[in-house]
Structure 1
Amino acid sequence: MTDLSRRSFEHDGIAFGCDYNPEQWDPETWDEDIALMGDAGVDLVAINIFGWSHVEPRAGDFDFARLDDVIGRLHAAGIRVNLGTGTASPPAWLTTAHPEILPMAADGTRRYHGGRQAWCPSSPDFRRAALGLVTAVANHYAQHPAVALWHVSNELGCHNALCYCDESAIAFRRWLQDKYGTLESLNAAWGTAFWSQTYGAWSEVHTPRATLSTCNPGQELDFHRFSSDELLDHYRAEAEVLRTLTDIPVTTNFMVAAHIENMDYWSWADDVDIVANDHYLDQRLAAPTMELAFAADLSRGLAQGAPWLLMEHSTGAVNWQPLNLAKMPGEMTRNSLTHVARGADGVCFFQWRASVQGSEKFHSAMLPHAGVDTDLWREMTALGATIHQLEEVAGTRVEAHAAIIFSWESWWATQTESRPSQSLGYLDQIHAAYSAIRALGITVDIVPPGACLSQYRMVVVPGLHLVGASDAKVITDWIADGGIALITFYSGTVDENDRVFTGGYTGPFREALGIRIEEFAPVEPGEVLTLSDGKRSRLWSERGRAITALTHAEFSDGPSNGHPAITSNAWGSGTAWYVATQLEPAGYQNVMAEMAAAANVRPAAVANGDFSQLEVVRRVGADHSYLFVINHADEAIAVQSQGNEIITGSPVVGHIDVPAGAVRIIREGAAV
């Protein structure tokens, strides 16, 4: 039996690859594609992601001939394979034979075959059939020299994370029994004394399907936890088969992105041999490039600082946003190298050749519909050449002295139906804090509640609405030991059971902050508040009073007029800052800058431009450090540095002028 311990994904340099769907093309096209992959520098290809109906066209009847052919051709060309288990979407013969596999929405209606991920994560019939396929694929390819990585399913939970069917209810009850042990404990955790919701038998407990009124928030919170765990359990089941039969490392592609909230990837990360993420620039956001950087930093956080793999992103437009914008010239390169700057040791795209049929036919690809005589192809091949120039960067780690605490559970807890303001979103608070500190040029790690903070000088805790007392104590103890932290409004409101901390809001942070918040006073989305120091804010205010804290600014108008808006408090050897409102960007940056100066946290390099248009990140290795400079501005920016620029091969003495829209990567040290 194979050792089930974690195995490392090894690759020479930075991987450059794509998702390939050979089942959509004839063998003559395969030859053309593989030749062009060589021209582009592609060295890692993900295949068999949606291959179930092709390798198992009928139950128990496996046919690997075409897949063997494709893998053989890729191997002959020196291209490694990231091999999918093929279980992402069940074939029609399976959902026809077992319609109970199909997932159920909150309103009690089924979702049918014809899209993707049409399966319930709790279905034993689906699990049985999926593991049968995985076993066959693993047995067939266990010794194939081309296979470098196993790719379990695909974007688990993208569409089917929450299933409300009877099988899900049975599994939910088992999960609750394991967690609480007794109905008395469950009733206490959910506060079922409210609205006569008390349960007297486990059979009375169901998934939180749509109700006429608002649902029980404790039940919804636990259902989110269960659903994340149930998908993780499916991943583990497939991974166990693979690890038992092969020595090849195993992963699945996470979806760390602004619109995906249903998987708590902090609980998933230890189960993958390398953290892999899919990320697409979200043009629906006000600052899509900022969100891209945040997602990359969060992916690195999930990898605990180790290098990770960008499994999918796009060369241009995607197919699923309301307006699918093409990327501007140079934007794809900047996007890709932002991920590398922030710790990725692989850059892969969906997909290789643009599809001509199906839902994704207008999704961009490395090889566009218009072919190789295109600006997109030329930029993509130039990027491939750059990636291969960065071989020496592989394995290095990002340097960061500040951190932001992020919690999927707090995200879920703030999305309940009954809350102080429907306009307040947890991720909006995270992004606002990240944007403010990024605008100062400061690199941050993203860490979970309860993480060790000893390596950081400055920590930001935006809107950590749900927090356990022990996790809060990690933060306050770190402050007492000399740390400088910023905790923002709506933090410390409820415990892990969604039960409000009494005695004044901010709960377990209250003493360290030296304030007592008595009442929330949110405001209309369009209303602007003014603070006594001239800063402006929106969305939220609080009525409280400073106990031991120093008040830096009060509300000058609005429902909390005269109450503290920005405070700081000496706690042990450190300082705990508090902001009771959503500051506008300039004011938020001002607070962050004051904290950063006190904590001696600086940008990776000095520049003469605005850091809101400039990314400067350092990766550090045993022999060299590498300064990544990504200029999003319309004019050149000078950055202080010393060493040799890798892309152009030019020496850097004192400073480097980075052209508008360009990326420069300096191997730091004496210029040669």
Structure 2
Amino acid sequence: MPETSPKGLTRLAFGGDYNPEQWPESVWQEDVRLMREAGVTMVSAGIFSWALLEPSPGVYDFGWLDRLFDLLHENGIRVDLGTPTVVPPVWFYRAHPDALPVTAEGVRYEFGSRGAICHSNADYRAAAANITTRLAERYADHPALAMWHVHNEYGVPVSACYCDSCAAHFRRWLESTYGTVDAVNEAWGTAFWGQRYGGFEDINPPRLSPTVGNPAQALDYKRFADATMRENFRMERDILHRLAPGIPVTTNFMTALSQCDSVDYWAWGREVDIVTNDHYLITDGRRTHVNLAMAADLTRSVAGGAPWILLEHSTSGVNWQARNPAKAPGQMARNSLAHVARGSEGAMFFQWRQSRRGAEKFHSSMLPHGGTDTRVWREVVELGASLDSLSTIRGTRTEADVAVLWDWHSWWAQSLDWRPSEDHDARERADAFYETLYDRHLTVDFAHPEADLSRYPLVVVPALYLMTEAAGNNVREYVENGGTLVVSYFSGIVDEHDAVHEGAYPGPLRDVLGLTIEEFSPLLKDQSVRLTGPDGSELSGDVWTEFVVPRGAETVWTYADGLTAGHPAVTRHRYGQGSAWYVSTRLGAEGLDALLGWATEDARIAPRADLPRDVEVVRRTGETGTYVFAINHTGADAKVSLEVSGTELLTGERAAGRLEVPAGAVRVVRLDG
């Protein structure tokens, strides 16, 4: 079995991407001295170094990397070694220009950025396999090697290519997936608009067409592009496993739903030895710490609940948004420790030393342009000491209260053209439901719709347009056996081929929800509707309404106006030993809080009203004990109740009964017993 933690790393991972090739070797000694001062335990290296390692075809220069490895090893710093296959050298593209990807409009990208790769290109695959083999043969036995880092952020910025090589590869993938072209025609519904294919050779990628194309074809092309990237990852991974046994292999994910929408991380999570993630705050005015918590929970869920590693985040501002504010004093530590609370075995950054040149020279780093006499540097050193004091949490697991169902394939399908309303956004609904659960101080696991749900008292479905029969059976059995289910609108509509389920909406959810939907009635821009409850109280919804017909479900809230006035808006259905709630409009924060309040009562989840808003409390448990993380994102001191006493690891103080958490601070208590 492959290792599932970095080899030789006895403390939490702390460090960042180290790109010494950007600096003269005279700087390396200073870098390593400062790394030791900061408490760095691991760095990522070599990720963008193919042109230096193989400056011309078949000519290799490993001398500089040898010296770097030895220097880091002498100073007790582990290495996460990248295979540099995200940026082939310019000489490769000159020899193989067809390895550059082509857009759906037929435009071929040029060399000069990163990630410009046709993943179906045979020459690229051969070259990537060769450089990976050379690295494995040279460094497999080096005592500094802790982990392999394949490629970089698959799917960013290009996932799909539409060239002729991809067309041929797509046809092979379809034949392997479906067996016959008749099966493809059936799955894609090609009888519509006369699109029927006579043979696989007739099929091309969904390139630019006069109007909207076949949605099932477009969905399958997203699957194909994702599978092709994963195929290349497996190729490199298998080389590394064969030549460097005992060294775990990973690639850095980007699970934040706003940052990478082309990768099915449920599938990728099964392929890596350690799940790692990159996370950057989207500073658009929203509560960034909520999105951070959501990304960390999703990453842990992709890892199957096992510990994972935050491989990149920023010490302060980034450089690629329209506006890039700095992080406030103390925010870097809060961000880092919030990831640790939710399962990360450390906190790594992009990057160690801030670049003077290139596209990311204004991206913050551990060692800023201003050097060590800066706030960021002082906070980096302080964070390193904090992480060192938390080493005993390694191997423990975060405890979750509820589950949210999420499926990338459903997101892909719902995002295709010609849906009932462009204002309905699956990611927005996931964000909104998650934020409400967060404000109720509930820790969330994300789950695939076909996963075992039996351990969760509450399961939430914020947006699951595409739902297989197996998923429908799964949630039905979950409720039948005593679970509480909450489903939001436009879920359970199509199968895995984007074909509407036979019968009335919502397909496989009809029985468990105890209702049918006669018709969708999306609202126009800026329209809203009122909902009334049995006690006369009111809520409001926008974007979407439906004509819901109860078939066993009870009406809890009713539309008070609009086209659907008098029809059920929110329903509850007793089913087996459990209950299922359905909401047919887009509720705002107040409505979602009310809905999930009722659902948590059904699920017998005790309210946590004693905790202030934006003070999160998360638990990690394992062989070394139980740890309570209390993270105060507010500007006021807070108090958190503790059921038993313990030791606060960051200060060494004893804590009993109530834990004091200063404004903007983090406290971690190892409970007694």
Moved more, 529-538 or 259-268: 529-538
- Measured in 2, the distance between the counterparts of 1:479 and 1:65 equals 61
573, 583, 596: which is aligned to 2:587?
583
Q: What residue identity is the alignment partner of 1:566?
A: V
661, 664, 667: which is aligned to 1:664?
667
Query: Any idea what SS the aligned residue of 1:596 has?
Result: helix
* Number of the residue aligned with 2:655: 652
Instruction: Work out whether residues 2 and 248 of structure 2, in 8 Å CA contact, stay in contact via their aligned partners in 1.
Output: no
Residues 573 and 608 of structure 1: CA distance in aligned 2, closer, same or farther (over 3 Å) = closer
* Number of the residue aligned with 1:173: 171
* Number of the residue aligned with 1:596: 600
Structure 1 residues 425-484: Cα deviation after superposition (integer angstroms, max 9, x where no partner): 111111111111111001110111100011111100111100110111111101100001
Q: What residue identity is the alignment partner of 1:586?
A: E
TM-score between both structures, scaled by the size of structure 2: 0.97
Query: Any idea what SS the aligned residue of 1:268 has?
Result: helix
- Measured in 2, the distance between the counterparts of 1:13 and 1:65 equals 29
Structure 1 residues 89-128: Cα deviation after superposition (integer angstroms, max 9, x where no partner): 0100000111000001110000010001121011000000
Q: What residue identity is the alignment partner of 2:598?
A: E
Structure 1 residues 585-635: Cα deviation after superposition (integer angstroms, max 9, x where no partner): 1110121122112212247x763412xx11111111124211111111121
CA drift of 1:285 comes to 6.3
Moved more, 339-348 or 538-547: 538-547
Structure 1 residues 344-378: Cα deviation after superposition (integer angstroms, max 9, x where no partner): 01210000000000001011100011111011111
Indicate the percent of aligned positions where both proteins have the same amino acid: 44
Give 1:251-290 correspondences, 5 Å limit.
Answer: 251-257=250-256, 258-284=258-284, 286-290=286-290
Query: Any idea what SS the aligned residue of 2:404 has?
Result: strand
* Number of the residue aligned with 1:537: 541
Query: Any idea what SS the aligned residue of 1:168 has?
Result: helix
55, 68, 71: which is aligned to 2:69?
71
1:440 maps onto 2:444 in alignment: no
1:619 maps onto 2:617 in alignment: no
1:104 maps onto 2:102 in alignment: yes
CA drift of 1:505 comes to 1.4
- Measured in 1, the distance between the counterparts of 2:302 and 2:10 equals 23
Structure 1 residues 329-351: Cα deviation after superposition (integer angstroms, max 9, x where no partner): 11111111110000001210000
CA drift of 1:6 comes to 6.0
Give 1:49-68 correspondences, 5 Å limit.
Answer: 49-68=47-66
Instruction: Give the unaligned 5+ runs of structure 2.
Output: none
Give 1:315-354 correspondences, 5 Å limit.
Answer: 315-354=315-354
Moved more, 192-201 or 283-292: 283-292
Query: Any idea what SS the aligned residue of 1:620 has?
Result: strand
Query: Any idea what SS the aligned residue of 2:669 has?
Result: strand
Instruction: Work out whether residues 632 and 664 of structure 2, in 8 Å CA contact, stay in contact via their aligned partners in 1.
Output: yes
- Measured in 1, the distance between the counterparts of 2:314 and 2:611 equals 31
- Measured in 2, the distance between the counterparts of 1:429 and 1:255 equals 19
- Measured in 2, the distance between the counterparts of 1:632 and 1:48 equals 36
- Measured in 2, the distance between the counterparts of 1:638 and 1:171 equals 59
Query: Any idea what SS the aligned residue of 1:535 has?
Result: strand
CA drift of 1:7 comes to 4.9
Moved more, 628-637 or 5-14: 5-14
* Number of the residue aligned with 1:449: 449
Q: What residue identity is the alignment partner of 1:249?
A: P
Count of aligned positions: 664
1:307 maps onto 2:302 in alignment: no
Query: Any idea what SS the aligned residue of 1:219 has?
Result: helix
Residues 287 and 540 of structure 1: CA distance in aligned 2, closer, same or farther (over 3 Å) = farther
RMSD of aligned Cα (Å)? 1.3
TM-score between both structures, scaled by the size of structure 1: 0.97
Instruction: Work out whether residues 441 and 602 of structure 1, in 8 Å CA contact, stay in contact via their aligned partners in 2.
Output: no
Moved more, 523-532 or 466-475: 523-532
Give 1:557-568 correspondences, 5 Å limit.
Answer: 557-568=561-572
Instruction: Work out whether residues 402 and 601 of structure 1, in 8 Å CA contact, stay in contact via their aligned partners in 2.
Output: no
Q: What residue identity is the alignment partner of 2:653?
A: S
* Number of the residue aligned with 2:516: 516
- Measured in 1, the distance between the counterparts of 2:402 and 2:201 equals 48
Query: Any idea what SS the aligned residue of 1:424 has?
Result: coil
Moved more, 11-20 or 175-184: 11-20
Instruction: Work out whether residues 494 and 501 of structure 1, in 8 Å CA contact, stay in contact via their aligned partners in 2.
Output: yes
- Measured in 1, the distance between the counterparts of 2:649 and 2:525 equals 47
Moved more, 228-237 or 544-553: 544-553
* Number of the residue aligned with 1:35: 33
Q: What residue identity is the alignment partner of 1:154?
A: N
* Number of the residue aligned with 1:132: 130
CA drift of 1:559 comes to 2.6
- Measured in 1, the distance between the counterparts of 2:382 and 2:286 equals 29
Instruction: Work out whether residues 84 and 152 of structure 1, in 8 Å CA contact, stay in contact via their aligned partners in 2.
Output: yes
Query: Any idea what SS the aligned residue of 1:531 has?
Result: strand
- Measured in 1, the distance between the counterparts of 2:523 and 2:330 equals 41
81, 84, 96: which is aligned to 1:86?
84
Residues 98 and 135 of structure 1: CA distance in aligned 2, closer, same or farther (over 3 Å) = same
Residues 238 and 454 of structure 1: CA distance in aligned 2, closer, same or farther (over 3 Å) = same
- Measured in 2, the distance between the counterparts of 1:639 and 1:551 equals 38
Instruction: Work out whether residues 559 and 566 of structure 2, in 8 Å CA contact, stay in contact via their aligned partners in 1.
Output: yes
Moved more, 494-503 or 94-103: 494-503
Instruction: Work out whether residues 402 and 458 of structure 1, in 8 Å CA contact, stay in contact via their aligned partners in 2.
Output: yes
Instruction: Work out whether residues 441 and 611 of structure 2, in 8 Å CA contact, stay in contact via their aligned partners in 1.
Output: no
- Measured in 1, the distance between the counterparts of 2:670 and 2:525 equals 47
Residues 623 and 251 of structure 1: CA distance in aligned 2, closer, same or farther (over 3 Å) = closer
- Measured in 2, the distance between the counterparts of 1:313 and 1:179 equals 37
* Number of the residue aligned with 2:193: 195
Instruction: Give the unaligned 5+ runs of structure 1.
Output: none
Structure 1 residues 239-258: Cα deviation after superposition (integer angstroms, max 9, x where no partner): 01111101211111011121
CA drift of 1:401 comes to 2.8
Structure 1 residues 481-519: Cα deviation after superposition (integer angstroms, max 9, x where no partner): 000110110100000110012322111010110111111
148, 151, 159: which is aligned to 1:150?
148
Instruction: Work out whether residues 407 and 449 of structure 2, in 8 Å CA contact, stay in contact via their aligned partners in 1.
Output: yes
- Measured in 2, the distance between the counterparts of 1:559 and 1:81 equals 62
* Number of the residue aligned with 1:392: 392
